Amino acid sequence: MFLKKGDIVSRLSHNQDIIFVIQEIVGNVAYLQGLYVRLVADSDVSDLVHVDPSVLNRYKETKNEYEKNIIATYKKKIGHITGKILHLDSDPFYLTKCLNLYKTLGIYAYGLEMPEFQMSDHILQYIKRIRPNIIVITGHDSYNNMGLNDLRNYKNTINFIKTIVQIRGQYDLDDICIFAGACGSNAEALIAAGANFASSFDRKNIEAFDPAIVAIMVAITPFNQIVDIESIYNFSKMQKGSIGGIETYGKMRLLVR
Q: For 171-200, how does the pLDDT look when each residue is reduced to its tens digit (9 = 90+)?
A: 999 999 999 999 999 999 999 999 999 998
Task: Report the C-alpha gap between 12 and 120 in whole angstroms.
Answer: 38
**Is residue 116 pLDDT above 90, yes or no?**
yes
pLDDT digits (tens, 9 = 90+) for 17-59: 888 888 888 888 889 888 878 888 888 988 888 888 877 776 6
Residue 97 phi/psi, 5° resolution? Answer: -60, -45
- If we measure between CA atoms, which residue out of 80, 119, 83 comes closest to residue 102? 83
Residues in Cβ contact with 77 at an 8 Å cutoff, skipping those fewer than 6 apart: 220, 252
Q: What local confidence, expressed as pLDDT, does residue 239 receive?
A: 66
**Is residue 154 pLDDT above 90, yes or no?**
yes
**Is residue 120 pLDDT above 80, yes or no?**
yes
- Please provide the DSSP assignment of 141-187 as one string: --B-SS-TT-GGGBSSHHHHHHHHHHHHTT--TTT-EEEE--TT--H
3-state secondary structure at position 135: strand
Task: Report the C-alpha gap between 98 and 236 in whole angstroms.
Answer: 13
Q: What local confidence, expressed as pLDDT, does residue 131 receive?
A: 97
Q: What percent of the chain has pLDDT over 70?
A: 89
- Give me the chain's average pLDDT, please: 88
Burial 139-151, CB ≥16 within 10 A → b, else e: bbbbbeeeeeeee
**Is residue 257 pLDDT above 80, yes or no?**
no
pLDDT band of residue 16 (cuts 50, 70, 90) is confident
- Determine the average pLDDT of the residues in 125-147: 95
> Could you check whether the bond before residue 200 is cis, i.e. omega within 30 degrees of 0?
yes
Q: What local confidence, expressed as pLDDT, does residue 60 receive?
A: 67
pLDDT digits (tens, 9 = 90+) for 48-105: 888 888 777 766 666 666 666 666 666 665 558 899 999 999 999 999 999 998 998 8
Task: Report the C-alpha gap between 216 and 11 in whole angstroms.
Answer: 32
Q: What local confidence, expressed as pLDDT, does residue 2 receive?
A: 83
